[in-house]
Amino acid sequence: MTRDFFIHLSENKVLNSGAKRWGLKLGAKSVVAGTNIEEMIESVKELNAQGISCTIDNLGEFVYQKEEALAAKEQILAVIEAIHTNQVDAHISIKPTQIGLDIDYNFCLENLSEIVSAADRYDIFINVDMENYSHLQPSFDLIDEISNKYSNIGTVIQAYFFRAEEDIQKYKDYRLRLVKGAYKESEQVAFQDKQDIDQNFIRLIEYHLLHGKFTSIATHDHTIINHVKQFVKDNNIPYDKFEFQMLYGFRKEMQQQLAKEGYNFTTYIPFGTDWYGYFMRRLAERPQNLNLVAKQVFNK
Ligand code: FDA
């Protein structure tokens, strides 16, 4: 119920566009690394100093105007320049709807190609984040077309989808981020039960660790992380074949601890004014994240 409530809020277009004018409110400051490139780069430098790499998400979704999608593309190109100029250890995460997937497939393809090409010049990796089911196949199509020309692109497999097993086999030669899945999906296409999702998540992780190119295990779930630690030990999987990923602001001590233990670690850094949908999905995943809201409100 609570999950559905926050997912519903995350999809509210009026609140999404209204929040862009509010600044970082409702506790979002704890999980969003600033509203501009300068603030975000400072956060990246702090994490790099702790041995943690970063993937940068210029927040944005629900984009239905070409001008807005083009502005997002320009901002992402500026982030690529900033990574290069500051020589920070970071790559980029992009949601296809931010650069026009809901407007026109070919327009989105052009925008994504330009971004991947710019990043390729500096050897920067681009991760295509996966959104809800209706965007899944078009996002894979974008990746298929772009990877005919560039190899600095990878994507996400969401374990709640029944088709995830087939997708992971098809994309095993890609660098993949594996997640449980964050959106509300129907029982026609996705597991609904937490236990089924967790089991499938573990199956996919083990498959890609054994057969895939490079695996990013993106979770805050210590049970899964401990399972992975044991699995890589038992199967002699070298540390340079995988990494753990978590979101900025969550389980900070565990992030530092995993990096200290010698595991590759990447923190997902969202920044920008379009923080509302992202923040509501985090509340949907874990209502305890409301504590962040309370802290922010009361520590003003
Ligand atoms: P989950 O929320 O299932 O929690 C499992 C258990 O872990 C909890 O019961 C608790 O014990 C513990 N736990 C979790 N969070 C905790 C906390 N903050 N403090 C203490 N204990 C905690 N989704 C998507 O659909 N597309 C995408 O592209 C991405 N990308 C992405 C990148 C990265 C880096 C991450 C970490 C996640 C995503 N996701 C995503 C989101 C993902 O699909 C999923 O919704 C969330 O990660 C929540 O699931 P978890 O696996 O983290 O644990």
Tell me whether residue 181 is annotated as binding: yes
Q: Is 251 in the pocket of ligand 1 (CB under 6 A)?
A: yes
- Please state the domain extents for the chain: 33-274
Predicted local distance difference test score (pLDDT) of residue 237: 98
DSSP per-residue letters across 123-142 = T--EEE----HHHHHHHHHH
Q: Is 247 in the pocket of ligand 1 (CB under 6 A)?
A: yes
Interval between CA 53 and ligand 1 midpoint (Å):
18
Which among 219, 246, 289 is the best mutation to test ligand 1's pocket, defined by most ligand atoms within 8 Å of the CB? 219
Residue 4 falls in the annotated catalytic set: no
Predicted local distance difference test score (pLDDT) of residue 192: 94
Tell me: domain 33-274, CATH 3.40.50.300, correct? Answer: no
Predicted local distance difference test score (pLDDT) of residue 248: 92
Give the residue among 44, 33, 39 at the shortest CA–CA distance from 88.
Answer: 44
Residue 102 falls in the annotated catalytic set: no
Q: Is 3 in the pocket of ligand 1 (CB under 6 A)?
A: no
Residue whose Cα lies nearest atom 4 of ligand 1: it is: 221
Q: How many helices (H) and strands (E) does the chain have?
A: 12, 8
Per-position pLDDT tens, the chain of length 300:
567 766 776 677 666 666 665 655 666 677 888 889 999 999 999 999 999 999 999 988 778 899 999 999 999 999 999 999 999 999 999 999 999 999 999 999 999 999 999 999 999 999 999 999 999 999 999 999 999 999 999 999 999 999 999 999 999 999 999 999 988 899 999 999 999 999 999 999 999 999 999 999 999 999 999 999 999 999 999 999 999 999 998 899 999 999 999 999 999 999 988 777 777 777 776 666 655 554 544 443
Out of 129, 167, 198, 274, which one is annotated catalytic?
129
Predicted local distance difference test score (pLDDT) of residue 200: 98
Residues 138-165: tens digit of each pLDDT: 999 999 999 999 999 999 999 999 999 9
Predicted local distance difference test score (pLDDT) of residue 187: 96
Predicted local distance difference test score (pLDDT) of residue 275: 76
Residue whose Cα lies nearest atom 5 of ligand 1: it is: 221
d(CA 29, CA 33): 7
Residue whose Cα lies nearest atom 19 of ligand 1: it is: 251
Reported in sequence order, the residue ranges of 95-226 that DSSP labels E, i.e. its strands, are 126-128, 153-158, 175-179, 214-218
pTM of the full predicted structure?
A: 0.92
Out of 102, 177, 198, 274, which one is annotated catalytic?
177
CB environment 273-284: b (16+ within 10 A), e (fewer)? bbbbbbbbbbbb
Q: Is 215 in the pocket of ligand 1 (CB under 6 A)?
A: no
Residue type for 27, please? G
Interval between CA 85 and ligand 1 midpoint (Å):
32
Interval between CA 250 and ligand 1 midpoint (Å):
9
Tell me whether residue 219 is annotated as binding: yes
